[in-house]
Amino acid sequence: MGARTAFAGVGLALGVLVALPAAAAPPEDPGFLRNRVQQRLHRGELDAAQEDLEAILRAEPTDGFTHHLLAQLLTYGRNLGPEQEAIYRALADESPGVNTALHAVAELELHRQDKFLGPDSEWLVAAIARLEAIADPPDAAFEAHLARRSLLGLVKQGTEAREAGLAAHAVRPDDLQGRISALSRDRRAGNTAAVLAGCRRLVAEDPWAVEACSMLWAVSVAPGPEATAELEAARAAAIAEVEELQTQVVDDAVTAHEVVKFWQRIGESTRASSLIAALKGRHDGFVPPRRGSWWKRSRMVAQPYRALNVATSKALQLGTADERLEALLPLLGQVPEDGSDDFGVQRYLRALSTTAAEVSGGTRHRRAALERLVRGDPSDAASSFDLARLTAKEPGGADEALRRVRASAAALLATPYDPGAAPLRKTFGDHVESVRSGLQERAALESNLLGRLGGDAVIDAEASFPRGPEAAAWFQRAREANGSNEAIDFLLEGLAGLTEAEAEALSKKDLRPLLPIVRDAFPQIDALRGDARAALLAAGSARRAERRLAADGSGVVGRTVHPFVGQPAPRLHFTDLNDQRVDLADLRGEVVIVDFWATWCGPCRQEMPELVALKAELADLPVRFLMLSIDEEPGVVAPFVDEAGYPLQFGWIGVRGMRQIWQVRGIPSLFVVGPDGVVQNHHQGFRPGLKDRLGAEIRDLLRDR
């Protein structure tokens, strides 16, 4: 069977349902299973989702969308991002082509947390270049086109993404995702008959993708009664097809889920609600489809805490830590004594904790915030570790500190899914390890931990992890572990304690008892007929690299500093409101402030007076302020500037083009470009006091002038 649904989920919203097989869609059909995996991921049924993925890979080992879902599960559900990416890299080195495409898919998942991800991101440019170099065999070219489509779609390059999808369609005309790309092309061309024909084929062959029939409601046709009548007739025919399908699949929650999404997409909310009600009555635990990524579900703020979340945002905009703390403290009464796992509550408590840490005498407020954080989420090991550090410094607090970190580690190990666990693992490796370790090792490990908590001893971070022969103890625990999650984690911990040379010296005989653990955790190895030993060593090397990041404190998942800082500024040219052409390349020798803003942006309006005042202060220095509006329409900019009378250089660039090149993810987004053309700093958002901070940066850059 061909890989008909590769990357089918890229353009389709995901949902949550209980999946029951139907006669029209046998459970072993890979397309049906892929759809069910998405729904199981949304429900948090990770083991069942992985079983489905393994079944698909046995039938279609190079299917891109299956690897896309597997990368999601491993990165966000199993917290094995770096390790699984290293395995794809090892497989790509061993067998170029298809595996290179799948490596790019794995990279996509790893970089989704990059705050400043854009089309010029270094890793993405390199991944696209690798994919474009793949021309054969046909399977490899097909997967490469779909991987390019997925990556380009991620950074909002819609036209280029569609072209990549159509290129895949040319390689495999009957593949589902290629046909959906062709549907999109026909929709844009106004070819109503072709879109209807494609919809009918979906209903007949791939009903779990019927949501794509909603493209008929986005067809742009030439004005005129004949074209309008043809479109209305096609829409009526599509509705009739979907109504008939609905009567056949009401016992199949997987496909019925797609019918619900079809009704929602075309604005038929009554039909959607009626079907949802029927499905709830028929399928215990049915949940209507949700938009958004499954691993971000817990990031939603519940209604009772939305006001708290807004108030937190406002408090964080204040200038000094004392002002922020004064605004945050009265909000503590809105938080339950036992805390909450709601994202808005946890965001507030973390803001209170970090702010209190900046204020003299704020320890008791910090402790109150940390205690509620840990009560609300016992697996929040970073907060537990901070709380233990405070406890350890109190008289006789050592035992209580150890109790806290042991409890936190145990809770973390028992938590099947934590979207924040990947970066947190870099923070709390020591006390997780102390819980896992045998009695003989625990005393030494906890002695090291106490030294770290109390801050009285300098601990070698590498020394607290098993090395050399001690790795055998970890391997033994891996073989005795309950479940593949725990087993693979123990195994990787053991490998992380080895040096590169020690790892390479492990023979196949040494590793043979461990290879089943690896295959259970990383099914793509067997699916792609890869060398399990090479894959295992690659995963261990990735975990070892993560250890080094933890030791020097530099391990960060997702950028917090704009990637352009320290790099030559990207190209920038525009026409200002006075019809003067501006090119950043012509402004060498000056400090250039490049600020992306919009007339509707409140923080941008707050920022403007400070920039005007700063310009007046620096009137004798070579400083240029380039204010680039990203408003959708250019006509709103000039009236706004004229009314305010701001003496800065304004231009309109819109929502695409330069905004994407400069990787602007939120506004105001202000870049400081030095006289040498290098981006020296970046300010995201607005806080009072910007004028003084920015002025100091500019004067420092012009110190010799």
**Do residues 90 and 80 lie in contact, with contact meaning Cβ atoms separated by under 8 Å?**
no
What are 566-618's pLDDT values in tens digits?
888 888 888 888 888 999 989 989 999 999 988 887 778 888 888 999 999 98
Other beta carbons within 10 angstroms of residue 57's beta carbon come to 21
288 vs 691: which has the higher pLDDT: 691
Higher pLDDT, 704 or 269: 269
The answer to whether the CB of 594 falls within 8 A of the CB of 584 is yes
Q: Where are the domains of the chain?
A: 465-544, 573-701
Q: How many CB atoms lie within 10 A of CB 693?
A: 14
Q: Tell me what the pLDDT averaged over the chain comes to.
A: 77
Q: Which helix (H) or strand (E) holds 236?
A: helix 225-249
pLDDT band per the 50, 70, 90 thresholds, residue 14: very low
Residue 438 has pLDDT above 70, yes or no: no
Whether the CB-CB separation of 77 and 46 falls below 8 Å is answered with: yes
Q: What's the fold here for domain 573-701?
A: Glutaredoxin (3.40.30)
CB atoms within 10 A of CB 530: 22
CA atoms within 13 A of residue 255's CA, in its CB half-sphere: 30
What pLDDT band is residue 547 in, cutting at 50, 70 and 90? low
- pLDDT tier, 328 (very low <50, low <70, confident <90, very high otherwise): very high
- Tens digits of residue pLDDT in 168-185: 888 888 888 778 888 888
> What distances in angstroms separate CA 570 from CA 116, 118, 583, 584, 687, one per listed residue?
14, 12, 11, 9, 26
Q: How do residues 215-241 score in pLDDT, each as one tens digit? A: 988 887 777 888 888 889 999 999 999
Give the pLDDT of residue 299.
Answer: 56
Which pLDDT band, with edges at 50, 70 and 90, does 704 fall under?
Answer: low
Lowest mean pLDDT among 84-93, 150-159, 352-361, 441-450: 441-450
A 10 A CB-CB count for 699 gives 15
How large is the greatest C-alpha to C-alpha distance in the chain, in angstroms?
86
Q: At what angle do helices 471-480 and 484-496 cross, to 10 degrees?
A: 170
Residue 520 binned pLDDT confidence (cut-offs 50, 70, 90): confident
459-470 mean pLDDT: 39
Structure tokens at 256: 């019925």
540 to 348, 366, 469, 496: CA distances (angstroms): 37, 37, 16, 6
Output the pLDDT for position 289: 65
pLDDT of residue 13: 26
Smallest CA-to-CA distance from 175 within 166, 185, 163 is with: 166
Distinct helix (H) and strand (E) counts, the chain = 33, 7
